[in-house]
Amino acid sequence: MSKLSGQVAIVTGAGRGIGGAAARKLASEGASVVAVDLDLQALEGNMATIRDAGGEVVGLSADVAAKDFGEVAVARALEEFGALDIIVNNAGYIWNTTIQNTTDEQWQAMLDVHATGPFRLLRAALPHFREAVRRDEQEGICRHRKVVNVSSVSGTSGSATQVAYSAAKAAVVGLTKTLAKEWGRYRVNVNCVAFGYIGTRLTQGWEGEPPTIEVHGRDHKVGFPKQLAEQIEVGIPLGRRGTPEEAAGAIYLFCIPESDFVSGEVLVCGGGVR
């Protein structure tokens, strides 16, 4: 039997990249997945891949920064699958500048998507987690549920030109450690994965004009100049950037029964970079 058979997971940012790989990984291990992404086309493509591989998935095209997102996502999981066992808070994007060029809008946007969105989702999930553990105790079952929040080495160590992003990702660490203390009584393990250089569209190397992604009608530059990307890889002890599948593996470690006595931890997945 697969390690996550019978469990239900919400994965945000599940259309592509790390979140897409995490949704595929959890589904391949038996979880029923609510895949969330703002980009409907990317979301549908990844869900098709999951279904073709025999996985069970439903989609939710939503903005994790919306005020009602938490309630909507939890309701979708309960309506579709009748349970909620795993939450992976992964959705996000970058909007980089130095502090003197960071606007209030930019600062708030990074906090909203990387910190407030996960906070609202977890707040909305609490009544379900609380009731679920009561039912487990009445039935004599000891079952752990899992939260995996996604941070970055920018949040744990800082990064030039990423003041808003780094602050938001640092907030994710504080959220993780606090809820690990608050939610232990509900048998909910709350952990965090801080990623280093993982090969996604946000970190791609480029020549010429920088690529952009569109979020809420605004184009955001992503990636690094090719020469800088190569220099970053040289500085990684393992000598290369990670893949989305390897990143998903780190998330998966916090979802399986073997991590039932691990909570409040920050795992750096960076090839040796701290």
Which residues are tagged catalytic? 165
SS3 percent helix, strand, coil of the chain, rounded to 5, is: 45, 20, 35
88: helix, strand or coil: strand
Element (H, E) at 195: strand 188-195
CA-nearest of 65, 76, 53 to 13 is 65
Sign for the pseudo-dihedral over CA of 177, 269, 157, 120: negative
- Alpha-carbon span 146 to 257, nearest angstrom: 10
- Alpha-carbon span 48 to 271, nearest angstrom: 31
Strands 224-225 and 218-221 come out as unpaired
- Alpha-carbon span 32 to 84, nearest angstrom: 9
**What's the angle, vertex CA 202, arms to CA 67 and CA 209, rounded to 5?**
120
CA-nearest of 116, 109, 99, 97 to 12 is 116
